[in-house]
Structure 1
Amino acid sequence: MPTSPKTLRFIALWLFAGCFVLIAVLLSSSEDTSDNLQRIRDEGVLRVLTRNGSTIYYQSQGEPAGFEYQLALAFANHLNVDLEMIPVVGLDEVFSGLADNRADIAAAGLSITPARQETLLFGPSYISVKQYFVYNRDANDAISSAADLIGKQIRVISNTAHVEQLKSLQEEYPELSWAESRDLETIDLLEQLADGQIDATIVNSNEYYANRAFYPNFRIAFSAGKPRKLAWAMTATPANASLIKEMTTFFRNINDNGKLARLIERNFTFNERRTFINTHTFLKMKKDRLPDVKGMIEQVAIEYDLDWRFLAAISYQESHWDPTARSPTGVRGMMMLTRSTARELQVEDRLDPMQSLRGGARYYKKLYSRLPSGIESPDRSWFALAAYNIGLGHLEDARVITEQRGGNPNLWNDVRESLPLLRQQKWYKPSKYGYARGDEAALYVRNIRDYYSLLTWDELNRYRVPPPRIVSDYLPAELNRSFDGL
């Protein structure tokens, strides 16, 4: 029986509709199975949403810096692509930016929370932080418990784990109240606390230690809740499966080779040991003396390809920026050179600040170049500083001891722990160069790192709005990545 034209039209329409549905399904399937990691590699750029902050991302003398930036740049290099940092203000913009596909990942000091895990994927955690309630002891009576917060003006950043913590405390203390801000960063809250606009806030422990040198009157009231894990975030889509897998490999590698531990130590750990007396003295000298010698320091730093803040930190440690300084052992001048060292460096007048600075810079560079090739930057800088203080011979003894104790003689963090052993007969007696006050060398390096970070973060507080796009396919090769931050 022949098929009627009407039936044929129906069949044709049915087939057309079926093809349309099939195409839609195929397109949808293609979308679901797309690979963001492959796209990143094809485009040659990793786009990263971030926020400004001394523990996250900022500009240092025109160069990008910060702990999260250092991690993101290392990951971009791991992928062999460029890095594009996209700074935004507030966590709302971070999350909306991810939702709008403005970036591939967010590296912004994000805590992993159950609420966020409902809509986001998180990579491996790279650090755990505590939540500190902080107050200004000059403006408030001591705060030591949640009950003491009742009636206080508390402000936190909205959409953070800090809000969740306050809500949890409110269940036990219904009268507890607070304000939330969408367009502020941690440093803004700290400034409000310093100015008396608020009575208390919550900051992560790493942020507190990174900034407390500028706020010596701040105190920790108490730590609330369990430590929170920080991680990178991305949209919850199957297209990110391979990206998560590669990210896991990357973090496993830098954890195994010690790079992650070194980044954390450089950015955060040393701040927990800084004394307020040293900080107060430094800030006073920075105001009273640094302006008189800053121009000379900058000029010499340019001549010897050094960061001026690094040279300023060394000269402060040596002489407190006093060109006429003298020690009981006879070293003199801005860089406290001995007679023999001055002679070797062709410094005729140790009390001439320019001659002294140039001599000290030459000496540091000479020591830097003579270190074993296996010591990489920025650890190489810390070794050169230790040698400036204690000599290459004693430093080599400490490296030998480090290896004997199972440590890595090319890592400053390991050798720093061995330096004090040069005071102990058990260790210095069999050493080639014998006894040395190795603990003073370790302290010497630590102080210079502290002073350098203070100068760096001072600039952050004044210039913390970066340009919109930073693209780099290599790791910065010296001190601009050493503290910033961690």
Structure 2
Amino acid sequence: MNSRTRREGATWTLIAKSLIPLIFIAGVAIGALLAGWRWLNHDSAAKKRDINVIRNSGKLRVLLSYDPINYFIYKGAPMGYSYELAESFAKELGIPLEVVVVRDMNEQLAMLRKGEGDIVSHFLTITGSRTGIVNFSTPLDSSRQVLIQRKPAQNGSSHLVRKLDELDGKTIHVRINSAYYTRLKEIMKEKNISINIVTAQGSLTTSELLGMVNDGKIDFTVADDNIASTHKALYPDIDSETQLSQNQPLAWAVRKNSPQLLEALDRWLQEQKKSGNLAVIHDKYYNRQYQFRKHAVHSFYSSHAGKISPYDDLVRKNAKAIDWDWRLLSSLIYEESQFDPDAVSWAGAIGLMQLMPSTAASFKSGNISNPADNIKVGTAYLVSLAKEWQEIKDEATRLKFILASYNVGPGHVRDAQKLAIKYGANPNSWEGNVEKYLGLKSEPKFYNDDAASLGYCNGKVAVLYTRNIINRYSLYSQVIPE
């Protein structure tokens, strides 16, 4: 081999060696790109539900955990910081809200990515790992993580953990893959200490873990300071003065393939901030400890009591007459009177189920001002309406005909059927058919139509009435035992 050949060989060897790192980097980049493509393909394989698809579906599905701040049932009514905001946003979009209760945060994110929900309305800490799988809204709040520990039996703080180093050897219960779990792992590295992190069940809420510390069942957990501060009204024996992190932004999450939904959500949130509405709702749930304690320990706070109203036993008994789930009948009663036995409408409807005296007379009732008689007669009327609509074979559809008839009378619903036939719709189908024409009975063109023998009816109210009862029943079913 001559010297020129040796020089050329050495040159190519040098070039090859210099290219190896570049080839490796390119390989990593391509691998990441392919992984990203696989992830994007996973999300796009689910139903792509951006804002137009959501509107066409007729509902905005939000994923919420059930706790005393963000979402709960109190005296039969759905309430909560996240719930109120989600309901307001759904109204802004002009579509009904559907709440899906998911207690496990990891399951919330998985369901979001699969298209089984549109927004995780639980307040999530924005972390690097999460931004890789979901998009976050503009932050709604911020909070520091704090250590939750039980106050000493006697006054004084000598036995309380006040420095991060003192966490060495301590056992702390947090949900796995939560921001709290991640922060404890970081502290172990930062301080070169060992913390026994016990991963709590994903279905356990922060509120429940705080209660376990308060009751002495566990020694430590971690929470956001705003949540801890609110819960002190309920759990007076907890201490939350030891800070574990700096302020961190909290936000809602949407799928990566829903950019239009994210844009609409961010725009709406900015408007809520500017108007002061966000601050008002925040104050309602975070800064009124007396009210928080009042609803959290109330016998009709449905998280722990499994109750809806003082009339649950009466409702259960009478629901059997119509073969209804008692929670469905409770939802109707809430829609009628909000469980006020003394309610009287402008038209003279009386009591829990808002019965007209003429209706009650046809059932030979006793005193419809009495809750027991009122529910008995109201249920008997529902039984008669069920017979009225036996022709509707699908049970879920028949229910909507019955509910609308309870609100405006079966005659107006029959009119809507006739209008549906005249204008080429299905008289035995609800959504987009009889529902549509019942709503149109408030417009002259339709209530003056020969097919509408009973004339004017505020059918839009009946449509909303029906939808509200069914949606509330869905909420009850997720949190109240059958």
TM-score, reference length from structure 2? 0.51
* Alignment map for 1:46-85 (pairs within 5 Å): 46-85=60-99
CA distance in 2, matches of 1:203, 1:167: 15
2:187 maps to which residue? 169
CA distance in 2, matches of 1:455, 1:179: 28
Residue type at the aligned position of 2:195: L
Of 198, 205, 212, 1:185 maps to 205
Of 229, 232, 240, 2:252 maps to 232
How far off is 1:32 after superposition? 11
Matched, 1:223 2:237: no
* Alignment map for 1:309-458 (pairs within 5 Å): 449=291, 452-453=294-295
Residue type at the aligned position of 1:179: V
Of 173, 178, 181, 1:160 maps to 178
2:49·2:118 contact (CA, 8 Å) conserved in 1? no
- Cα distance, 1:91–1:471 mapped onto 2, change above 3 Å: farther
1:54·1:460 contact (CA, 8 Å) conserved in 2? no
Matched, 1:245 2:259: no
Matched, 1:254 2:268: no
Matched, 1:151 2:169: yes
CA distance in 2, matches of 1:124, 1:113: 14
- Cα distance, 1:454–1:57 mapped onto 2, change above 3 Å: closer
2:151 maps to which residue? 137
CA distance in 1, matches of 2:47, 2:83: 30
Residue type at the aligned position of 2:217: Q
1:84·1:471 contact (CA, 8 Å) conserved in 2? no
- Cα distance, 1:465–1:191 mapped onto 2, change above 3 Å: farther
Q: Could you give the per-residue CA deviations for residues 358-389 of structure 1, whole angstroms, max 9, x where no partner exists?
A: xxxxxxxxxxxxxxxxxxxxxxxxxxxxxxxx
Q: Could you give the per-residue CA deviations for residues 412-444 of structure 1, whole angstroms, max 9, x where no partner exists?
A: xxxxxxxxxxxxxxxxxxxxxxxxxxxxxxxxx
- Cα distance, 1:55–1:32 mapped onto 2, change above 3 Å: closer
How far off is 1:101 after superposition? 1.4
Give secondary structure in 2 for the equivalent of 1:225: coil
1:91·1:158 contact (CA, 8 Å) conserved in 2? no
2:66·2:103 contact (CA, 8 Å) conserved in 1? yes
- Cα distance, 1:49–1:450 mapped onto 2, change above 3 Å: closer
Q: Could you give the per-residue CA deviations for residues 184-238 of structure 1, whole angstroms, max 9, x where no partner exists?
A: 111221222123232111011222122111211111141121212111112212x
How far off is 1:174 after superposition? 2.5
How far off is 1:461 after superposition? 5.2
- Cα distance, 1:451–1:235 mapped onto 2, change above 3 Å: closer
* Alignment map for 1:442-481 (pairs within 5 Å): 449=291, 452-453=294-295, 459=301, 462-463=304-305, 472=468
1:213 maps to which residue? 233
- Cα distance, 1:461–1:33 mapped onto 2, change above 3 Å: closer
How far off is 1:457 after superposition? 9.2
1:341 maps to which residue? none
Residue type at the aligned position of 1:84: E
CA distance in 2, matches of 1:98, 1:32: 10
CA distance in 2, matches of 1:72, 1:112: 19
Residue type at the aligned position of 1:66: G
Residue type at the aligned position of 1:39: V
2:299·2:305 contact (CA, 8 Å) conserved in 1? no
Residue type at the aligned position of 1:142: L
CA distance in 2, matches of 1:189, 1:454: 15
Give secondary structure in 2 for the equivalent of 1:55: coil
Residue type at the aligned position of 1:258: G
Residue type at the aligned position of 1:178: I
Residue type at the aligned position of 1:236: K
Give secondary structure in 1 for the equivalent of 2:204: coil
Residue type at the aligned position of 1:201: T
- Cα distance, 1:144–1:51 mapped onto 2, change above 3 Å: same
1:52·1:464 contact (CA, 8 Å) conserved in 2? no
2:67·2:205 contact (CA, 8 Å) conserved in 1? yes
- Cα distance, 1:154–1:31 mapped onto 2, change above 3 Å: closer
1:60·1:459 contact (CA, 8 Å) conserved in 2? yes
- Cα distance, 1:230–1:451 mapped onto 2, change above 3 Å: closer
CA distance in 2, matches of 1:34, 1:137: 50
CA distance in 2, matches of 1:82, 1:143: 47
Q: How many residue pairs are counted as aligned between the two chains?
A: 267
Identity %: 24
TM-score, reference length from structure 1? 0.50
CA distance in 1, matches of 2:273, 2:249: 15
How far off is 1:456 after superposition? 5.1
Matched, 1:102 2:116: yes
Unpaired segments ≥5 residues, structure 2: 1-40, 309-465, 473-482
CA distance in 2, matches of 1:85, 1:42: 18
Supply the RMSD in Å over aligned alpha carbons.
3.2
How far off is 1:130 after superposition? 1.4
CA distance in 2, matches of 1:101, 1:151: 42
Q: Could you give the per-residue CA deviations for residues 52-78 of structure 1, whole angstroms, max 9, x where no partner exists?
A: 112211111222111110110010011
Give secondary structure in 2 for the equivalent of 1:154: strand
